[in-house]
């Protein structure tokens, strides 16, 4: 007898998300309004936003306009009801298999997406200004990147110093002279916004390489609709679900072949990558193939093909979720098995579009960040609509001296890291941490920037049964630029789940909330 055939994917060593138990006895019945005050448990009167700007509640404890209906509704639910909804959200997350991977020294762990059911609200009026500011910013950044890889007028005109480019880890000489369609290099941008005490949004950073999180934004809405369906009947909450079709249109607009149905693919580093869930989600939503490097091949005449059951099929646009340095072992890291040999020459010859374009990361350097307001003025001749957070460049001797003298008050960030790794949060650090950073800064000042510790805004978050406490949060909207521009309605709200913590990254114990842009009908 022949041994039984086995094959394809071997069970992996790491654990993936699994479906959990259904919460018992969930009843969608609504508490009658008259019950308010009797079984009112979420005691909004006891909720204190402290000295921070709170997204839902004003300093004197009244609900803000976009949160009015939400708060009165939540206030009408009993402790048990809220707890049931919370459990329901948890079960939904497990059922939908929403997970992310945390890299630790002990190995990679897949965790369920931590989610708080109390949404964060923003008025539609404020959002429309913010969205305009985000478009303005990305437009200028793309002009800046395009300029850097061509004439470098921005340097010649003395707007930014030359060494910022020559010493940048993300400037790619291979990209010089290339002209992607519409002058757009960063087609998908995730910009992190924070709200300060004054209630205004500030840009914390721009992610122009492979920003992630948009699938969580979409899934958060899905969860909230299941858990708090009543609110969607009465409130004017703007929908978020047009992102994927806009992403698809943006990608299609980049196709070098002007054909009716260009072939678009999502390129993932593979099934064990922390964001694989998102890559599969986006491919599925757009109805395009999800490929790995080994599925693609570049021909001698510099065109990209994918290996299909009918043979090789030409690929026009690649939404790549692989870092520049792993894209093409012929050009970048020789040991990369994630990439596709020859991909860069195909792109350089204009036979395939890569989104984002290689080299776009040059503008998400945190040192370049400090110059973005100037960049906007220079290219667009406009004042920036959204402000930057005050930033100290450690390469400047004067600013460095200030940073070194105030390490206990500032947040220090490496110029080229993301995901909240390698940061110093001054007020929460030890003397030893500060000494380590002082040394790092002196050794490589160009690699560090510092910012004042922001009084990040807060929102009410369920910390235990029936108890709400303020937790700090930020917001990552996603901006698209191809033939047209697009901004998500709101974005991904990330919450620092630990009391007092300012670190919202999911890799560092952060959670998230659904983000509501609400039409309030107020001028």
- List phi, psi (to 5°) of 189: -125, 135
Between 2 and 261, CB nearer to another protein = 2
We find the least distance from the C-beta atom of residue 94 to another protein, in angstroms, to be 8
Residues in 268-297 at the binding interface with another protein, rule: CB under 8 A:
271, 280, 283-284, 288-292, 294-295
CB nearer to another protein: give 17 or 139.
Answer: 17
Shortest spacing between CB 268 and another protein, in angstroms? 10
Binds another protein by CB under 8 A, chosen from 156, 307, 439, 499: 307
With CB under 8 A as the contact rule, which of the stretches 11-19, 40-48, 424-432, 506-514 interacts with another protein? 11-19
φ, ψ for residue 92, nearest 5 deg: -60, -40
Smallest distance from another protein to CB 372, Å: 36
- Which CB, 297 or 423, lies closer to another protein? 297
Q: Which of 3, 37, 158, 397 lies at the binding interface for another protein (CB under 8 A)? A: 3
CA dihedral 231, 196, 385, 137 (to 10 degrees): -90
> Which residue in the set 88, 240, 275, 306 belongs to the binding site for another protein (CB under 8 A)?
306
Beta carbon of residue 7, minimum distance to another protein (angstroms, whole number):
6
Cβ closest to another protein, residue 82 vs residue 298: 298
DSSP code per residue over 178-223: ---GGG-S-SEEEEEEEE-TTS-EEEEEEE-SS---HHHHHHHHHH
Helix, strand, or coil (residue 85): helix
Q: Which of residues 44-103 bind another protein (CB under 8 A)?
A: 95-97
Q: Does 509 bind another protein (CB under 8 A)?
A: no
Q: Are 414 and 499 in contact (CB under 8 A)?
A: no
DSSP secondary structure letters along 348-413: HTTSSEEESPTTGGGGG-HHHHHHHHHHHHHHH-S--SSEEPP-EETTSHHHHHHHHHTTTTEEEE
Which of 187, 190, 191, 176 has the alpha carbon at shortest distance from 146?
Answer: 176
**Applying CB under 8 A, does 311 fall inside the site for another protein?**
yes
- State the nearest-atom distance from the C-beta of 292 to another protein, in Å: 7
Nearer to another protein, 13 or 38 (CB): 13
In the list 19, 169, 442, 499, the residue contacting another protein (rule: CB under 8 A) is 19
From 348, 255, 339, select the one nearest 302 (Cα to Cα).
348
| Alpha carbons within 13 A on the beta-carbon side of 229 | 6
Among 33, 153, 308, 349, binds another protein (CB under 8 A): 308
Does residue 247 interact with another protein by CB under 8 A?
no
Residue 307 CA to residue 469 CA, distance in Å, equals: 53
What does the alpha-carbon distance between residue 123 and residue 127 come to, in Å, rounded to a whole number?
A: 6
Residue ranges that bind another protein, judged by CB under 8 A = 1-12, 16-19, 95-97, 271, 280, 283-284, 288-292, 294-295, 306-311
């Amino acid at each position: 007898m022949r041994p039984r055939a086995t094959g394809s994917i071997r069970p992996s060593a790491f654990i993936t998300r699994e479906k959990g138990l259904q919460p018992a006895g969930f009843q969608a019945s609504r508490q009658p309004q008259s019950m308010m005050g009797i079984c009112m448990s979420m005691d909004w009167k006891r909720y204190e936003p402290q000295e921070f700007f709170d997204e839902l509640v004003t300093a004197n404890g009244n609900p803000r306009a976009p949160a009015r209906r939400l708060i009165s509704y939540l206030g009408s639910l009993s402790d048990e009801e809220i707890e049931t909804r919370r459990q329901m959200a948890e079960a939904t997350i497990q059922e939908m298999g929403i997970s992310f991977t945390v890299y630790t020294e002990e190995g990679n762990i897949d965790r369920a997406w931590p989610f708080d059911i109390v949404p964060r609200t923003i008025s539609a009026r404020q959002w429309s200004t913010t969205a305009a500011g985000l478009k303005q910013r990305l437009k200028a950044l793309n002009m800046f990147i395009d300029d850097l890889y061509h004439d470098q007028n921005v340097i010649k005109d003395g707007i930014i110093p030359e060494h910022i480019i020559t010493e940048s880890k993300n400037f790619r000489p291979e990209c010089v002279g290339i002209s992607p369609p519409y002058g757009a290099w960063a087609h998908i941008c995730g910009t992190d916004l924070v709200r300060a005490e004054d209630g205004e949004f500030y840009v914390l950073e721009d992610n122009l390489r492979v920003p992630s999180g948009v699938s969580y934004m979409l899934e958060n809405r899905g969860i909230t609709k299941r858990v708090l369906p009543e609110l969607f009947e009465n409130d004017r909450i703007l929908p978020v679900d047009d992102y994927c079709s806009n992403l698809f249109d943006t990608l299609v607009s980049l196709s070098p072949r002007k054909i009716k149905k260009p072939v678009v693919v999502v390129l993932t580093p593979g099934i064990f990558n922390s964001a694989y869930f998102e890559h599969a989600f986006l491919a599925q939503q757009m109805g395009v193939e999800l490929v790995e490097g080994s599925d693609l091949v570049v021909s001698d005449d510099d065109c990209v093909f994918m290996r299909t059951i009918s043979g090789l099929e030409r690929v026009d646009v690649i939404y790549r979720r692989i870092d520049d340095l792993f894209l093409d072992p012929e050009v970048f890291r020789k040991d990369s098995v994630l990439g596709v040999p020859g991909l860069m020459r195909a792109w350089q010859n204009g036979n395939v579009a890569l989104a984002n374009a290689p080299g776009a990361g040059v503008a998400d350097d945190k040192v370049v960040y400090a110059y973005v307001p100037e960049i906007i003025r220079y290219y667009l001749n406009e004042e920036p609509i959204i402000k930057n957070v005050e930033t100290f460049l450690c390469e400047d001797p004067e600013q460095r001296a200030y940073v070194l003298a105030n390490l206990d008050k500032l947040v220090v960030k490496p110029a080229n890291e993301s995901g909240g790794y390698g940061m110093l949060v001054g007020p929460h650090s030890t003397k030893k941490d500060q000494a380590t950073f002082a040394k790092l800064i002196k050794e490589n000042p160009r690699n560090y920037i510092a910012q004042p510790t922001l009084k990040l805004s807060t929102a009410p978050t369920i910390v235990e049964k029936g108890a709400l406490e303020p937790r700090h949060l930020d917001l990552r909207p996603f901006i698209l630029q191809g033939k047209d521009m697009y901004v998500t309605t709101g974005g991904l709200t990330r919450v620092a789940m630990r009391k007092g913590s300012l670190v919202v990254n999911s890799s560092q114990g952060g959670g998230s909330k659904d983000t509501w842009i609400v039409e309030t009908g107020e001028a």
